[in-house]
Homo-oligomer: A and B are copies of this chain.
């Protein structure tokens, strides 16, 4: 069993619990150290509930990084699930102490920070995963495979979207809906684009292999009194001539977490929506539209090995997270530190995501002028 620690993810943090639960599903890691909160009492209380030894519940992440690095039975990796603002400092501290990292997305506020993290990681020869969840689904992996093996031909156009409706009404300070999301001091210069728009960028990149050349973006704050964006439209030019359009929104009533990707190539197309994660639609010119089903239809080995239960029983977000951790611990076990064929999203993908956000912000501020991504 691997040993891992967690920074952030206290009792009311939804995503921390998802990480821990997903990891337990795999049954190959044990949570042994944590700094759940800036409030030490809270960390102690919550750590006790999670059966963590008291001496491995830390006052702050810096102490934790230093102490765990010293222990013979120190953690094999840390999971960073703090608000976006502190990702950089937390990850940096653990990397510098020689500890592998898994961090939530978006990786950092600035691409410069992400570049620094990548640099340190490479110097130290460590693993660094970024939990872009949607790449963990077997159906998504199989779509990547169909693109790679040429089943839909050279890609021409991508239409991808991530509509949510939960921020369609103003949220007040007492709302259970995390108000920090709308606080530029915590969330950075973007809310919707950074939170869910980046999932689109990563998902499309993963499935298609396309590199973004330039973006023309318009970020909107459509709910009165809101300063950060709650809706974003982006036109994309990819290298090689393909085109795309991305839309993310948090004011789209009727939608919950409806990430949808549609890829059109010379020979066919692919379509997947996260709310029905076990199926995707595959259309080619020589066959009727197919609904491909995980567990029933043949997937390539790289996708099939992440399929856990028989067809017809939906695998959801826990399984997707668990698959990312499975890939990460497999790399840990095999000491695959170059991450060349990593089956989890790497820090370099995290860096791409931050560059994408920066370019979109720049474009939007310049009235949607095209901005190149280098």
Interface size, A (range): 35 or more
Contacts of A25 in B (CB 8 A): 21, 24-25, 318
B222 contacts A256, C-beta separation under 8 Å: no
Closest to A244 in B: B233
Q: Which of B51, B157, B257 contacts A222 (CB 8 A)?
A: B157
Q: Give the chain B neighbours of A249 by CB distance below 8 A.
A: 157, 264
Residues from chain B with a CB closer than 8 A to the CB of A283 are: 165, 253-254
Q: How far is the CA of A369 from the CA of B257 in the complex (A)?
A: 32
Taken together as a complex, chains A and B put the C-alpha atoms of A27 and B20 apart, in Å, by 10
| CB-CB nearest in chain B for A22 | B25
Of B51, B258, B266, B312, which one neighbours A258 at CB under 8 angstroms? B312
A243 to chain B, nearest CB (A): 5
CB distance from A176 to the nearest CB of B (A): 11
Q: In the complex, what residue of chain B is closest to A20 when comparing beta carbons?
A: B27
Is A300 interfacial (CB 8 A cutoff)? no
Distance A275 CA – B289 CA, assembled complex (angstroms): 15
- Is A370 on the interface with B (CB-CB < 8 A)? yes
Q: Does A325 contact B (CB under 8 A)?
A: no
Residues of B within 8 A of A373 (CB): none
A327 in contact (CB, < 8 A): no
Known: A252-B264, A269-B252, A312-B258. A220 touches B293 (CB 8 A): no
Other than A252-B264, A253-B285, A367-B370, give 7 A-B pairs with Cβ distance below 8 A: A156-B222, A157-B251, A218-B235, A233-B235, A233-B245, A235-B235, A257-B312
Interface residues of A, Cβ cutoff 8 Å to B: 1, 14, 18, 20-21, 24-25, 27, 50-51, 156-157, 159, 161, 164-166, 168-169, 216, 218, 220, 222-223, 231, 233, 235, 243, 245, 247, 249, 251-258, 262, 264, 266, 268-269, 271, 274-277, 281-285, 287-293, 295-297, 309-319, 367-368, 370
